[in-house]
Amino acid sequence: EVFANFDDGYEWFGGTVNTKYLVAAFCGDDAFDYDQGFRGKHQFWFTIQGQDEAGRGGEHDGGDDDETGTPYSIPLISNVTYIGSGAATEGVAGDGNDRGLYFRDNAGGKYWSSVFTEYVGVGVRIEDIDGDDSRKQLEDGNLLLQNNYWWAFGDASNMLELASGNQWAADSMAANENVIADPELRGISWTNGDEALDPRPLFESPISSGG
């Protein structure tokens, strides 16, 4: 667990470590950040971000100065829960509460069976600039979002709005069983020590079975 860190909760500069059961709570920047060809298999990550200062749930880069350098970052990530600062929260310092996931600089990565909720901005932004970028990683199968639940992203009410207005990203998310629906978590609270925070799903939640 990383609690109230001033910068990212976890940041990997390359490597192939495998991880489970990581918590990044109330950190001042991104909860999970990777770069420089990061790989490995990862499961059961959790973040809740503060309402005063925060970053993205996941900020994912493929490289630094040489964005075409290989290997590309393509970690395999499943069963994570990312809770932002609140869908209606404004004035959050740092990078803010603007998006759940950000893929850029040729980053790939695959998320399965996960929950993303309570961000004021978009769900995911996949960078698409001149030359190869994270959009190409999506088209090549190195970036995948599959069977995930998205809920409470500002005023976003459809997949296109969740995907930063990029139709190609929205089409990929829809084709891979991403849904906009309440995951019915037991309780969300941004107050330190409040036992009302219980991010497990209710028994009747749509994510409680059929995983």
pLDDT attached to residue 155? 87
* Residues paired with residue 20 on neighbouring β-strands, in sequence order: 43
pTM of the entire structure?
Answer: 0.96
Compute CA distances 163 → 6, 71, 91, 168, 173, whole Å: 28, 26, 22, 9, 8
19-45 pLDDT tens trace? 999 999 999 999 999 999 999 999 999
Distance, C-alpha 83 to centroid of its chain: 9
Q: Give which of 49, 45, 53 is closest to 80, Cα–Cα.
A: 45
Residue 211 contacts residue 113 (beta carbons within 8 Å): yes
For 72-119, the pLDDT digits (tens) are 999 999 999 999 999 999 899 999 998 999 999 999 999 999 999 999
Summarised one tens digit per residue, pLDDT across range 136-163 is 999 999 999 999 999 999 989 999 999 9
DSSP states along 12-58: EES----EEEEEEES-SS-SEEEETT---EEEEEEEE--SSEE--SE
